[in-house]
């Protein structure tokens, strides 16, 4: 069994993304979930910081964690270190005290401590009334700050931040060997993140400026070796076209990421926003049978009219009265 250290403020959304790389993900406590199995794709998750081999859980604080460790079997050799966290400040424990006490329990069992470069790292995670102990297995690559929208070769206001774009791509199904479509790709942020986890990506946008700008962004981030610790970047292409009449054969893509234009920010000629999104949803459904729609309102009915099933939905506040609605479609 594995322990997942979740990030962000929405555990349900983080767990949904984690399910793209792990099996049987179940909530455990604030900021924590368990998984029966994990894959190398954990390294490409946005809202999971680490996956650990679970030692066990207990109810209570530091004393409960020490008792849990003293009773646990440990099949490891080499040096150790303890890293403690009070998840979301929900446990009211001293992490320094936890590290000292748990480190003492390990030294009592004959393990040498190396705080700088240990062979094994024990995570002591306190969340509410739950204390969880686990050995660090793998961590996700936290390089999202290097791809801030304003730092990309091509930028437009309203671009999705790379952390959310990566999560959306993962939930849609981006991974090596799959092709991800964005029928209204804008600056290409979602495709950049899908490509960095190994998927081949295909963008489409009606505006010449957007299609060429997205290509520049994709070339900047996907040409070359990619990100250390992640798969080699996938191939990419961008076309200028109408999202309601995509120049693609049926079932040409494995999945889609779709950031619908926001009402007051979009430039739409001779067509209402509602009609555009509804027709684009139907056309995207012709090309693939799974995807994630990001929008600024409830497009559930439009998605169903287009032939999709809304598997799950999440609402993430942006600022003021603006919320992002995220629909997982099958």
State the pLDDT at residue 263. 60
- Structural domain of residue 135, as residue ranges? 2-139
pLDDT digits (tens, 9 = 90+) for 258-278: 999 876 444 454 458 888 999
Where is the domain boundary, 112, 139, 166?
139
Q: Which of 108, 123, 139 is the last residue of a domain?
A: 139
Distance between CA atoms of residues 241 and 204, nearest Å: 6
Same domain for 187 and 104: no
pLDDT of residue 319: 77
Span 42-90, pLDDT tens digits:
999 999 999 999 999 999 999 999 999 999 999 999 999 999 999 999 9
pLDDT of residue 271: 57
* Averaged pLDDT for residues 4-22: 97
Q: Tens digit of pLDDT for each residue in 20-40? A: 999 999 999 999 999 999 999
pTM score, whole prediction: 0.95
Q: Are residues 72 and 182 in the same domain?
A: no
- For the segment 189-201, the average pLDDT, to the nearest whole number, is 98
Same domain, yes or no, for 133 and 148? no
Mean pLDDT of the chain: 95
Residue 244 has pLDDT above 70, yes or no: yes
Q: Are residues 325 and 218 in the same domain?
A: yes
72 and 117 within one domain: yes
Tell me: the pLDDT tens digits for 208-226? 999 999 999 999 999 999 9
Q: Are residues 150 and 254 in the same domain?
A: yes
For residue 266, what pLDDT is reported? 47
Q: What is the domain-level CATH number for residue 66?
A: 3.30.2130.30
Q: How confident is the model at residue 176 (pLDDT cuts 50, 70, 90)?
A: very high
Q: What is the mean pLDDT of residues 116-141?
A: 98
Share of the chain above pLDDT 90, in %: 90
Instruction: Tell me which of 139, 164, 194 is where a domain ends.
Output: 139
Clarify whether residues 167 and 84 are in a common domain. Answer: no
Same domain, 124 and 148: no
Token pair 């926003």 in the structure block, residue: 273
- The DSSP call for residue 94 is -
Q: Is the pLDDT of residue 203 over 70?
A: yes
pLDDT at 268: 52
């Amino acid at each position: 069994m594995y322990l997942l250290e979740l990030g962000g403020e929405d555990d349900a959304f983080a767990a949904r993304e984690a399910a793209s790389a792990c099996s049987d993900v179940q909530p455990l406590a604030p900021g924590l979930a368990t998984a029966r199995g994990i894959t190398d794709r954990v390294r490409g998750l946005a809202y999971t910081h680490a996956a650990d081999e679970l030692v066990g859980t207990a109810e209570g604080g530091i004393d409960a964690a020490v008792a849990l460790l003293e009773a646990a079997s440990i099949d490891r050799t080499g040096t150790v270190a303890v890293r403690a966290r009070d998840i979301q400040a929900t446990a009211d424990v001293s992490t320094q005290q936890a590290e000292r006490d748990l480190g003492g329990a390990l030294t009592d069992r004959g393990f040498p401590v190396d705080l700088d470069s240990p062979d094994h790292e024990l995570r002591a995670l306190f969340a509410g009334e739950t204390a969880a102990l686990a050995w660090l297995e793998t961590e996700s690559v936290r390089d999202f700050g290097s791809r801030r929208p304003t730092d990309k070769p091509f930028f437009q206001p309203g671009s999705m931040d790379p952390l959310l774009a990566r999560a959306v791509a993962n939930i849609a199904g981006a991974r090596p060997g799959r092709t991800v479509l964005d029928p209204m790709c804008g600056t290409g942020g979602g495709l950049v993140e899908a490509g960095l986890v190994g998927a081949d990506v295909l963008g489409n946008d009606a505006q010449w400026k957007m299609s060429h700008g997205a290509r520049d962004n994709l070339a900047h981030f996907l040409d070359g070796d990619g990100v250390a610790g992640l798969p080699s970047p996938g191939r990419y292409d961008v076309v200028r076209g109408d999202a309601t009449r995509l120049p693609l054969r049926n079932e040409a893509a494995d999945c889609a990421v779709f950031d619908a234009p926001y009402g007051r920010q979009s430039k739409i000629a001779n067509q209402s926003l509602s009609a555009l999104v509804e027709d684009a949803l139907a056309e995207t459904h012709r090309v693939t049978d799974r995807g994630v729609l990001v929008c600024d309102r409830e497009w559930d009915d439009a998605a169903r009219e287009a032939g999709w099933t809304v598997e799950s939905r999440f609402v993430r506040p942006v600022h003021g009265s603006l919320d992002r609605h995220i629909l997982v479609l099958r």
